[in-house]
């Protein structure tokens, strides 16, 4: 049994309250983590504030920050296997997927380390001959990062890497279900040489996140999670006019046209919904398929879905692990019941796995779904694929955009004109063509509509962690009429 304290001001701090973290594969507690208090949030924010305002971090050059980030990337690369095992144990996702994430994470820190010393302002042509005007991009300040349980460190890195490059400090509240990898990561931050207070972790239940959101010492909240929670966070942050970036839910359409390579498309559909047990914000949970190839594609998908191997996330042969926690399993079961009442039919799956039990649910394909059903309109965050027919291109675009979400979408076609034409019409932050579930540190990621505010990754992300300051320099040094502007 591993036991952890909070991480505040560069050191592990004993917790006043604690809770158990459960392994979703076997249901057994495997770690004890803190359940933080409002006072402990205060201490963490104060440490981050000191580090930003008066500590050595605030005096570092951009080049020095970049060097620390490269050191951190090297440490992540060294410890990727251990950290992947920890994360897989905590959230039940496949070890090989977690290992792939951890092996890729250093690239984020290398990328933003290189960007740290390229944050520059502009000289502005002045409309007054006696003024020289320029702008500066300055770090926003203290960031409160609230992360989910499905990919804790990948989704924290989306925030942390650009934020560190900009010069911000952090207080992180990970999900109460998956706190261990973030606490382990904090030790690596110290090893890499980051000054005390730059990175702080306060774990716990929802009251910890609420305390962070309302804290007047926090300059920005960066959140990934459910849309309804994001709305609550945005409202709470508004009381102090705290800036927010929100990466929220999705009900993403995976659109297959009749001219698509159906074997390739079937693999993409499977990856888009059953990868990570469907527990990803970008899950392709709505399959829109043209009527003329509906039956043929469905046969391929159902056949492959029935072969998906459920089991121990650590085993190399496992293709899908358990749902991450009991509340999420209950939610998945509830949506299945609602879908059947609304008229959907089960083509395969649809039950808890009778062999494995526990938190395992069979990968499920639902047919005869219409876009007005709840199963097609609300985010399930589980391994349920809703299959919806469409007639033609205009019908596909209409159905795809008929949602309050707009995080991602995919288009499967061999017609290059159609591919781009449809991609341009889809109201989604990311559109894949003949692919699904691909992200990059260099490419902006975020949503339209109720899928969020702001962008993560790429050059867009670092702007989310900076302020623009305009500086006017009077050139003549001569006294001017105090009652005349300029």
Pairing, β 466-474 against β 131-139: antiparallel
pTM score, whole prediction = 0.96
Whether 456 sits among the annotated catalytic residues: the reply is no
Whether 247 sits among the annotated catalytic residues: the reply is yes
pLDDT tens digits in sequence order for the chain, 486 residues long = 899 999 999 999 999 999 999 999 999 999 999 999 999 999 999 999 999 999 999 999 999 999 999 999 999 999 999 999 999 999 999 999 999 999 999 999 999 999 999 999 999 999 999 999 999 999 999 999 999 999 999 999 999 999 999 999 999 999 999 999 999 999 999 999 999 999 999 999 999 999 999 999 999 999 999 999 999 999 999 999 999 999 999 999 999 999 999 999 999 999 999 999 999 999 999 999 999 999 999 999 999 999 999 999 999 999 999 999 999 999 999 999 999 999 999 999 999 987 787 899 999 999 999 999 999 999 999 999 999 999 999 999 999 999 999 999 999 999 999 999 999 999 999 999 999 999 999 999 999 999 999 999 999 999 999 999 999 999 999 988 888 876
Domain ranges of the chain: 2-248+447-471, 253-433
Q: Please, what CATH class does the domain formed by 253-433 belong to?
A: alpha beta
CATH no., domain 2-248+447-471: 3.40.605.10
Catalytic one among 168, 184, 281, 456?
Answer: 281
Nearest alpha-carbon partner for 253 in 15, 448, 101, 27: 448
Distances (CA, A) of 372 to 250, 365, 396: 16, 17, 14
Catalytic one among 40, 247, 379, 393?
Answer: 247
Cβ atoms of residues 25 and 313 within 8 Å? yes
- What pLDDT shows up at residue 486? 64
Residue 11's H or E segment, with its range, is strand 11-13
């Amino acid at each position: 049994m591993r036991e952890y304290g909070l991480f505040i001001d560069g050191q592990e701090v004993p917790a006043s309250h604690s809770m158990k973290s459960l392994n979703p594969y076997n249901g057994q507690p495997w770690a004890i983590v803190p359940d933080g208090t409002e006072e402990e949030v205060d201490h963490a924010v104060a440490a981050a504030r000191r580090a930003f305002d008066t500590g050595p971090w605030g005096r570092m050059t951009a080049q020095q920050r970049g060097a620390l980030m490269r050191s951190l990337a090297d440490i992540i690369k060294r410890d990727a296997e251990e950290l992947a095992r920890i994360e897989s144990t905590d959230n039940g996702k496949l070890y090989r997927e977690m290992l792939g994430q951890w092996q890729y994470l250093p690239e984020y820190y290398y990328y933003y380390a290189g960007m740290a010393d390229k944050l520059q302002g502009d000289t502005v042509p002045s409309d007054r001959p006696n003024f020289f005007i320029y702008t500066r991009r300055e770090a926003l300040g203290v960031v409160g990062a609230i992360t989910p349980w499905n990919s804790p460190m990948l989704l924290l890195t989306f925030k942390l890497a650009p934020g560190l490059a900009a010069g911000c400090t952090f207080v992180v509240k990970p999900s109460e279900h998956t706190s261990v990898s973030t606490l382990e990561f904090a030790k690596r931050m110290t090893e890499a040489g980051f000054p005390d207070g730059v990175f702080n972790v306060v774990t716990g239940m929802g009251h910890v996140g609420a305390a962070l959101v309302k804290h007047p010492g926090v300059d920005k909240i960066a959140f990934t999670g459910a849309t309804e929670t994001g709305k609550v966070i945005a409202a709470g942050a508004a009381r102090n006019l705290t800036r927010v970036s929100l990466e929220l839910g999705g009900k993403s359409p995976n659109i297959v046209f009749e001219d698509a390579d159906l074997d390739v498309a079937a693999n993409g559909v499977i990856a888009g919904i059953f990868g990570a047990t469907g527990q990803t914000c970008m899950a392709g949970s709505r399959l829109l398929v043209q009527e003329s190839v509906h039956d043929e594609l469905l046969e391929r998908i159902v056949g492959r879905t029935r072969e998906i191997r459920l089991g121990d996330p650590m085993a190399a042969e496992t293709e899908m692990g358990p749902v991450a926690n009991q509340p999420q399993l209950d939610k998945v079961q509830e949506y299945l019941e609602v879908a059947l009442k609304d008229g959907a039919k089960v083509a395969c799956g649809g039950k808890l796995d009778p062999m494995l039990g526990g938190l395992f649910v069979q990968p499920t394909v639902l047919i005869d779904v219409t876009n007005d059903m709840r199963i097609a309109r609300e985010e399930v965050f589980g391994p349920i694929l809703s299959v919806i027919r469409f007639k033609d291109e205009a019908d596909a675009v209409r159905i795809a955009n008929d949602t309050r979400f707009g995080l991602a979408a995919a288009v499967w076609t061999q017609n290059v004109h159609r591919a781009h034409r449809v991609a341009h019409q889809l109201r989604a932050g990311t559109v894949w063509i003949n692919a699904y579930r691909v992200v990059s540190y260099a490419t902006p990621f975020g949503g339209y509509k109720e899928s969020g505010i702001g962008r993560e990754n790429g050059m867009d992300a670092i702007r989310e962690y900076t302020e623009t300051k305009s500086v006017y320099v009077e050139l003549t040094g001569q006294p001017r009429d105090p009652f005349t502007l300029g």
